[in-house]
A and B are shown apart, each in its own frame.
Chain A
Amino acid sequence: MVRRLVALAALALLASSCGSGAAGNADAFRGAVITPPRSVAQVVLPDAADGNRPFTFRAEKGHLLLVYFGYTDCPDICPTTLSDIRKALRDPAMAGHAGKIDLAMVTIDPEVDSGKLLTRFLDSFHPGAHALRTDDPDALAAAAKAFGATYSVVDPGHNLPREVGHSAITYGVDDKGNLVAQWTFGMPSADFAHDFAMILDGAELRAEQ
């Protein structure tokens, strides 16, 4: 229930911040602040970009870790978000913070996404990104649950294409392994950059009033 309230607050925030755009309160967080932050550091998944060594959901010291649940066959939502993040890293607001963004994508379609494929895919957007893939459906479900992400892979059969759905949300995790913020689909890259810089600056995260 508490989480749902947070979610509703996040929606309200999103609506208000998007409506007023960059002209609004410059100090207000553009995404949704997770209050209080909740730990995701207990979740571990194999990192195919790192020889399948276990990856803990925690940013490197002084960094921000962005986490996304998606799949490589996704031509629209996933690459749009990953492109917007890539663009955000070049935004003037991110000056002085170059190299402090870690990126991890969890494939929700491990049947299709090999570790190698996912690693190559992510390298197109963010070299050094963590390619998280597990064959254990329980481990994947547990990871998604920790973030509040959902996904579904439905095979209708009869040679029809599989229908894959996933939370189109980018999650922000600090170097203590706390989920501190999240951004819904469609966040302009300048707003991403603004929020990333705020978190990396250690600023107090608060919603626009």
Chain B
Amino acid sequence: MKTRMLVSTVACCTLVVVGAACGSSGSTPKADKTTTSAPAVKGGVSVTGAWARMSPAGAANGAAYMTLTSPTEDKLLSASVDAGVAKKTEIHETVAAGSPMGSDDSAADDSSSTMPATSAPMMSSDTTMAGQMTMRPIDSLELPAGKAVELKPGGHHIMFVDLVKPLTVGSTLKVTLTFENAEPMVVDVPVKEG
């Protein structure tokens, strides 16, 4: 248990530093500027930079990314695609493994009481910096008023579970987003190499 705590603690710190230093991968569009340039759709959520990564051969799951900006406080509640694309669609967050639920913004919390109970985890005993990451579904995604919320590799993503067919470059997915307040909307999500 001590080993696992150590690993998790170090992994948490890693994520914080990585997040601060280079939170986005080279392939990720920057979202900072979309706050001011977002289309003014009254009462609606603006979506920019939507894309999904082509799925590797045999991959069961896929992911889509985009930047959401809501003029008023709102929540992204769900995303869905045609049943011919994937059996299920979820909103996921990628976090440092072992960090407490729903607190990825304070991942440096190293309190041992927040460790999730695990059933026989298989883990190397080495406690070297591991940068271990995991992902899990979330019920909703907060959209603070006027703030660009970026879904990006290594952070939040829309996950297509059990792909019915591979996501191929050049195709476009129709992803339906539902919100707590705003009307549902359908977003064109082009599939790119990533």
Binding site for B on A (CB under 8 A): 3-4, 7-8, 10-11, 14-15, 18-19, 72-77, 79-80, 82-84, 86-87, 108, 117, 120-125, 137, 140-141, 144-145, 148-157, 161, 163-169, 184-191
Contact = CB atoms under 8 A, between A and B. Distances in A.
A75 B93 CA distance: 11
Nearest to A109: B122
B133 A77 contact: yes
B127 A149 contact: no
A164 B154 contact: no
A198 B119 CA distance: 43
Nearest to B118: A154
A148 B98 contact: no
B21 A152 contact: no
Contact of A163 (B13, B60, B62, B134): B134
A121 B56 CA distance: 5
9 contacts: A11-B13, A14-B18, A75-B59, A86-B193, A121-B57, A145-B125, A150-B132, A152-B122, A166-B97
Interface stretch (B22-30, B66-74, B106-114, B170-178): B22-30
Contacts, number: 187
Contacts of A151: 122-124, 132
A87 to B, nearest CB: 7
Interface in B124-179: 124-137, 153-154, 157, 159-160
B84 interface: no
A14 B21 contact: yes
A135 to B, nearest CB: 12
A86 B54 CA distance: 13
Interface string B35-73: 000000000000000000101111111110000000000
A184 B60 CA distance: 25
Given A80-B154, A84-B25, A168-B133, A153 B122 contact: yes
A146 B3 CA distance: 16
Interface residues of B, number: 55
Among A83, A117, A155, A191, the most chain B Cβ lie within 10 Å of the Cβ of A83
Nearest to A82: B56
Contact of A75 (B27, B125, B159): B159
B7 A83 contact: no
A46 B145 CA distance: 52
B61 A123 contact: no
Given A141-B125, A156-B119, A166-B134, 15 more contacts: A14-B17, A72-B59, A75-B55, A75-B157, A76-B94, A77-B135, A79-B53, A83-B194, A124-B59, A141-B124, A150-B124, A150-B132, A151-B122, A185-B18, A187-B25
Contacts of B133: 77, 165-168, 185
A120 B57 contact: yes
Nearest to B126: A145
B10 interface: yes
B157 to A, nearest CB: 5
A144 B154 contact: no
A84 B118 contact: no
A10 B120 CA distance: 31
B119 A154 contact: yes
A15 B23 CA distance: 11
A83 B27 contact: yes
A176 B17 CA distance: 32
B22 A188 contact: yes
A12 to B, nearest CB: 9
A48 to B, nearest CB: 12
Interface string B69-101: 000000000000000000000001010011000
A190 B26 contact: yes
B49 to A, nearest CB: 15
